[in-house]
Amino acid sequence: MSLLFQSLKIKNVEFKNRIAVSPMCQYSSEDGYANDWHLVHLGSRAVGGAGLIMAEASAVSPEGRITPADLGIWKNEHIENLKRITTFIHQNGSVAGIQLAHAGRKASCSEPWNGGKQISEQVNGWRTLAPSAVPFRETDSLPVELSLEEITRIVQNFKDAALRSLNAGFKVLEIHAAHGYLINTFLSPLSNFRKDEYGGTFENRIRFLCRIIDEVNTVWAENYPLFVRISAIDWAEGGWTIEDSVNLSRILKEKNVDLIDCSSGGLVPYAKIETKPGYQVPFAEAVKTQTGIMSAAVGMITTAEQAETILKNGQADLIFMAREYLREPYFPLSAAHLLGDDVSWPVQYERAKL
């Protein structure tokens, strides 16, 4: 059997294979609610045989949304619609996860198909939040520098959202600490200029994330996996480095985090990202081999052979895929055929089994 189709158990949760649907914002919610779009989008990937399906960046507070149409989990009323989705995913043999997010200074934008630009408070937008009053783009309005009280409130927002995630039936929780959103802006010296205990040294810049993890741990199920997505490097001079990522991963490992999902970039618009197939795999490899924590590789992984090679080389434990999954929701079914593995198909689809 291929490694890609070997099951993986993390804590008490078993994934039937190593293929994960990477979180993908759908910008299709009203007031944060999941709806039929999310059920079909995520549900069809469960039918398609993914081991793990990570629901998109879900805002822990209304001002933490990238756009007014983001999925949210800031109130108990959101739980019911999400529960319907997790139930369907689990009935179809995949594991449902959710990514908790706060967009920070990259909040208050229009949907990508409406231009993706920042929208002002006067239209439909809101004041954005950040560790320091420095905007992402020079043309963006200044974010509000968070006070200590507001930091504590947002930590509490993550904790409350984690409990709601559990009540909605999710079995994996991922904290979004990547792509230039709020937690990432605390981590990087290119966006955090604070003079208090949340800025300056490495220990101070990781404090906000560590507090979130500590609080989430008090409510998230002990036997369910906890992941963190990081931007392993900023791709900019003077920014966050792979050594920082390795050091952070070592600390998170001691805090009950099971896996580091290794993305990169997104913090500053002038980053020079060198994209090519599997370009972020070396980050997953560094984190895994230098700390012993599990890691996920993501980014321009599009074929079964490529995914299998990453696992064979011991570079990662899970393979996250995003855009290829938009083209091919049933990717694992054809990947199994290509690798010569016999996997079970939904009975309704068996007449088409390759």
Ligand X SMILES: Cc1cc2nc3c(=O)[nH]c(=O)nc-3n(C[C@H](O)[C@H](O)[C@H](O)COP(=O)(O)O)c2cc1C
Active site residues: 181
Among the listed ranges 7-15, 32-40, 282-290, 321-329, the one in contact with ligand X (CB under 6 A) is: 321-329
176 scored as a contact of ligand X (CB under 6 A): yes
Quick one: 102 or 176, whose CB is closer to ligand X?
A: 176
23 scored as a contact of ligand X (CB under 6 A): yes
- The residues near 114 (Cβ < 8 Å, ≥ 6 apart) are none
Q: Which of 224, 229, 297, 318 binds ligand X (CB under 6 A)?
A: 229
Residue holding tokens 């239209």?
123
Q: Rounded CA gap, 13 and 16, in Å? A: 10
185 scored as a contact of ligand X (CB under 6 A): no
Gyration radius of the chain over CA positions: 19
The contact mask relative to ligand X for 59-88 (x = CB under 6 A, - = no) is ------------------------------
Rounded to the nearest whole angstrom, what is the least distance from the CB of residue 294 to ligand X in the complex? 17
Q: Which of 56, 63, 160, 215 binds ligand X (CB under 6 A)?
A: 56
* Cross-strand bridge partners of residue 172: 97
Q: Which of 324, 338, 339, 341 binds ligand X (CB under 6 A)?
A: 324
Rounded to the nearest whole angstrom, what is the least distance from the CB of residue 22 to ligand X in the complex? 3
Q: Rounded CA gap, 113 and 116, in Å? A: 7
Q: Closest by alpha carbon to 167, among 221, 205, 242?
A: 221
Q: Rounded CA gap, 63 and 308, in Å? A: 40
Dihedral angle sign, alpha carbons of residues 309, 274, 249, 74:
negative
Dihedral angle sign, alpha carbons of residues 108, 117, 175, 195:
negative
Quick one: 59 or 194, whose CB is closer to ligand X?
A: 59
The contact mask relative to ligand X for 254-283 (x = CB under 6 A, - = no) is ---------x--------------------
CA distances (Å), 206 to each of 213, 230, 247, in order? 11, 12, 10
Quick one: 66 or 293, whose CB is closer to ligand X?
A: 66
Count Cβ atoms below 10 Å from residue 341 Cβ, excluding itself. Answer: 16
Q: Rounded CA gap, 1 and 17, in Å? A: 11
Quick one: 58 or 192, whose CB is closer to ligand X?
A: 58
Amino acid at 303: T
Rounded to the nearest whole angstrom, what is the least distance from the CB of residue 200 to ligand X in the complex? 27
111 scored as a contact of ligand X (CB under 6 A): no
Interface with ligand X (CB under 6 A): 22-25, 56-57, 99, 176, 178-179, 229, 263, 298-301, 321-324
